[in-house]
Structure 1
Amino acid sequence: MNADKEIPIYQLFIPPVNLMELRRDIWCNDPVCAKLTINRKKLDIDIVYRGSHIRDFRKKSYNVIFYKPNTYRNAKEVHLNAEYKDKSLLRNKLSLDFFADIGTLSPRSQFVFLNLNGKDEGIYLELESVDEHYLKNRNLPKGSIFYAVDGDANFSLMSDLDKGIKQSLELGYQKKCGTAQDELYLQELIININTIPRVDFEKEIVKYVDVEKYLRWLAGVIFTQNFDGFVHNYALYRNGDTGLFEIIPWDYDATWGRDVNGKVMEEDYVGIKGFNTLTARILDIDTFRRIYQRLLKEIMNNQFNVRYMEPIIQDMYNQIRPYVPQDPYIRDNIEIFDKEPDFILNFIESRANYINSQLHTLD
């Protein structure tokens, strides 16, 4: 095993009484105390299960909050994702790295191997938390961050969940950092997206949204074909210097040709124009639509093609493959795991062909 390819071993110890408490109610968001050892460094942490439907899975995902010290590697918390339904274990990292590659803000991630109370739990993806430390580590201006936590984060005045008018403009969002004033900026954004007259939209929306960055993010959602990505699975960052909102992807395991249950998602399942109110209004403007069309062509030429993606996928696969036999949740399906890189590459080729066939609809 090549030493520079080895993934870190995380040794997690949750006292039995705390582990019982954690398992007693998997939906509880109250963390319990635990210890985490990384490279012989012992850390006191708080830990809790993370996610919504994924909490029901046998292999749990965790939110780790550093307690003593209260930051570690310039972070106050990280997320450990089990990637339980992803047959490749690669899709989330592959997606987030792809977003960064095409010029979109995106969380960093790394594969780790988790051992819980002396028992192997297998390969996990450690995800950087999108918060004030995320901004600081990139020398980005201070600003607010809102997580899109459910389908009501659809940029609309109408609820995606109960189909009526939203009782609050902040429905679907959870403030990660920011002030009460920032909540008003978010409300103002939603109102303006829905009420600016069409004749004024091109010159007015750029006062609230970094449109070029939004279109890069949209292209990323379209290429990876994340069905939930338009109304969920993202964070909003309001840049304190420009006053403009930018968008950051999050939780991208249901991508690259498989859905949230790991089932095949055909390459034409999500149309080239996506959906949500903001996307529809932006793509209604000729100027923005042409920028988007140019971005799609540019990314297909430079990143979204088999020639470019194959070595990236192969490197990730090679990095975690030696650990698969030790992962109790995937080792009985190694032959499926081994076929996934080719499955993903076939999807890239098919998806690129589909998108290419639809570019004329943006004329």
Structure 2
Amino acid sequence: MHHDALPTFIIIIEPTHLKELQSNVWNEEPFPSKLVVDNIPYEVGITYRGDHIRKFRKKSYRIDFGAYNRDFEGREIHLNAEFRDPSLIRNKLSFDFFQTIGSISPDCKHVFIELNGKPMGVYLQLESVDDLFLQKRQLPYGPIFYATNYHANFSLLTPRYNPKPSFLSGYVQKIGNDDDNRDLEMLIYKVNTIPRSDFGEEIARCVDIEKYLLWLCGVVCTQNYDGFIHNYAMYQNGETKLYQMIPWDYDATWGRDWNGQIMEYNYVPIEGYNTLTARLLDVKDIRNQYRLLLEEILETSFTVAALEPRITNLYKQLRPYLSLDPYKKKSINMFDSEPDFILRFISDRNIYLRRHLKDLI
């Protein structure tokens, strides 16, 4: 194989267990199985992962090592099928982009999976966002919440304008205790009740403003429509007590939606969405800070020149494996035309956002 060959993950599971897994896709109890990488066997538990993606033909998996695994630098990893993304690279391109602009995001890389001797195709191996994620980045221990549905919009109402059943509706606590739940409830209460005149000063005691704005730049550039009210994790720094956002599930980006359909480059406005974003950008100084950050990103990182080499490299790496992927081998032509599609999106989106920087003055 050539130098940037994909690692092969061989998963072995008892046929009876595999049948059970397939017959109930919502099962959360891991089935005992073996993962073999580079001829090293690991005893693991396996389940499907994700929400609507569990219904797809090409399933995504969560691999549970039971304890910290040194080789994988974690207790668990996620293996994403990227089924609806014809390029297979949108998630990876997004997370790497977030890191480039100074926002934290999960590390990830492509792998090739075989299950009980059958090729399953190209997958994205994703780091879990947990206490080990924080340790790896030398960040202080602190609570982490996953925004699991659209109720995580920082409002007191759902996106359909119904009252929420609770302040924490839309969130699942990954790490933390009851006090941390109360802290997050308090944040959501404050976002909705601090008077306009005091908002900038008060919210700076709860939210890491610069990190929030960098995250906002990332969502606005990649145009993840759901990313404002869903598809993120929230981390509260244990020392500063300030919250920051971590992106998750970014396959519906770079000009396509979660169905893989075209999303026009001007679909998401420069101000983004959600109640917290709206209130932050209502503060003149914060709005200005956002404009300057975004302006710099539009000149440096979010450009065809900066992103083209990354896209080309990922493509060269994945291309030989496409004909071995039972779910993708019929759509190789589409795969081949996606780099141009993504680059055109970057070019159009960049021009669109530059044109609207003046709206932020």
Letter of the structure 2 residue corresponding to residue 2 of structure 1: H
Please list, as runs of the form range in 1=range in 2, the aligned pairs for 1:306-321 lying within 5 A after superposition.
306-321=304-319
- The answer to whether structure 1 residue 11 and structure 2 residue 37 are counterparts is no
Q: Paired residue for 2:154?
A: 155
Q: Please, which moves more after superposition, 291-300 or 69-78?
A: 69-78
What corresponds to 1:115 in structure 2? 114
Q: Sequence identity, in percent? A: 50
Report how far residue 171 of structure 1 moved: 0.5
Would you say how many aligned residue pairs link Structure 1 and Structure 2?
361
The corresponding residue for 1:28 is: 27
Q: Pick from 165, 169, 182: which aligns with 1:184?
A: 182
Q: Deviations over 1:167-200 (max 9, x none)?
A: 2111100000111111111111101111111100
Q: Structure 1 residue 357: deviation in Å? A: 1.1
**Structure 1: runs of 5 or more not aligned:** none
**Equivalent of 1:350 in 348, 351, 354:** 348
Shift of 1:28: 2.0
1:298-334: CA deviation from partner (whole Å, max 9, x where unpaired): 0011110111110011011111111111111111111
Which residue of 229, 235, 238 corresponds with 1:237?
235
Deviation at 1:118, TM superposition (A): 0.1
Q: Is the 8 A contact 1:43 1:69 kept in 2?
A: no
Q: CA separation in 2, counterparts of 1:308 and 1:219? A: 16
Check conservation: 1:75, 1:133, Cα contact below 8 A: yes
Task: Report the alpha carbon displacement of residue 2 of structure 1 after superposing the two structures with TM.
Answer: 2.6
Of 256, 260, 263, the residue aligned with 2:261 is 263
CA contact (8 A) 2:68 2:75 kept: no
Rounded to whole Å, the distance in 2 between the matches of 1:8 and 1:2 is 12
Q: Distance in 2 between matches of 1:159 and 1:328?
A: 39
Q: How do 1:216-227 and structure 2 match up within 5 A?
A: 216-227=214-225
Counterpart CA distance in 1 for 2:26 and 2:96 is: 30
Aligned equivalents of 1:61, 1:353: Cα separation in 2: 35
8 A Cα contact 1:44 1:69, kept in partner: no
Distance between the aligned counterparts of 1:80 and 1:188, measured in 2? 34
| RMSD after superposition | 1.1
Partners of 2:29 and 2:268 in 1: how far apart? 37
The superposition leaves residues 320-356 of structure 1 with CA deviations (integer Å, 9 ceiling, x where unpaired) of 1111111111111111101111110000000001111
Letter in 2 for 1:289: R
TM-score by length of 2: 0.98
Whether the 8 Å CA contact 1:44–1:68 is kept in 2: the answer is no
| Contact 1:80–1:124 (8 Å) recurs in 2 | yes
Does residue 85 of the first structure (1) align with residue 81 of the second (2)? no
Distance in 2, matches of 1:276 and 1:78, equals 30
Which amino acid in structure 1 is aligned with residue 76 of structure 2? E
Q: Is the 8 A contact 1:113 1:121 kept in 2?
A: yes
Output the CA distance in 1 between the equivalents of 2:29 and 2:129. 20
TM-fit CA distance, 1:30: 2.0
TM-score (norm 1): 0.98
Runs of 4+ in 1 over 4 A off after TM superposition: 68-72
Mapped to 2, the partners of 1:93 and 1:74 lie a distance apart of: 18
Aligned to 1:2: 2
Which AA in structure 2 matches 1:329?
A: Y
In 2: Cα distance, 1:71 partner to 1:24 partner: 33
After superposition, give the CA deviation of every residue in 1:30-68 in whole Å (9 maximum; x if it has no partner).
221111011111111111111111111100001111137
Give, in angstroms, the shift of residue 70 of structure 1: 5.7
SS at match of 2:74: coil
- Quickly say closer, same or farther: Cα 1:298–1:69, change in 2 above 3 A: closer
| Residue 76 of structure 2 corresponds to residue 46 of structure 1 | no
Match of 1:294 among 292, 295, 302: 292
| Residue in structure 1 matched with residue 248 of structure 2 by the alignment | 250
Deviates more, 1:239-248 or 1:69-78: 69-78
SS in structure 2 of the partner of residue 76 of structure 1: strand
Q: Give the distance between the partners of 2:148 and 2:307, measured in 1 at CA.
A: 30
1:74, CA displacement in angstroms?
A: 2.2
Counterpart Cα distance in 2 of 1:192 and 1:186? 10
Cross-structure match for 1:282: 280
Match of 1:57 in 2: 56
Letter in 2 for 1:359: L
From the superposition, tell whether residues 142 and 68 of structure 1 become closer, same or farther in structure 2 (CA, over 3 Å).
closer
Question: Could you say which residue in structure 2 is the equivalent of 1:134?
Answer: 133
In 1: Cα distance, 2:156 partner to 2:330 partner:
47
CA contact (8 A) 2:66 2:76 kept: no
Render the CA deviation track for 1:100-150: whole Å, top value 9, x for unaligned.
110001000000000000000000000000001101111110000000000
Q: Give 1:203 shift.
A: 0.7
Q: Residues of 1 paired with 2:341 and 2:131: CA distance?
A: 37
Deviations 1:205-227 (A, max 9, x none): 00000011100000100000000
Structure 1 counterpart SS, 2:257: coil
Contact kept in structure 2, 1:43 and 1:68, CA below 8 Å: no
| Distance in 1, Cα, partners of 2:71 & 2:173 | 23
- The equivalent position to 1:175 in structure 2, one of 158, 173, 176, is 173
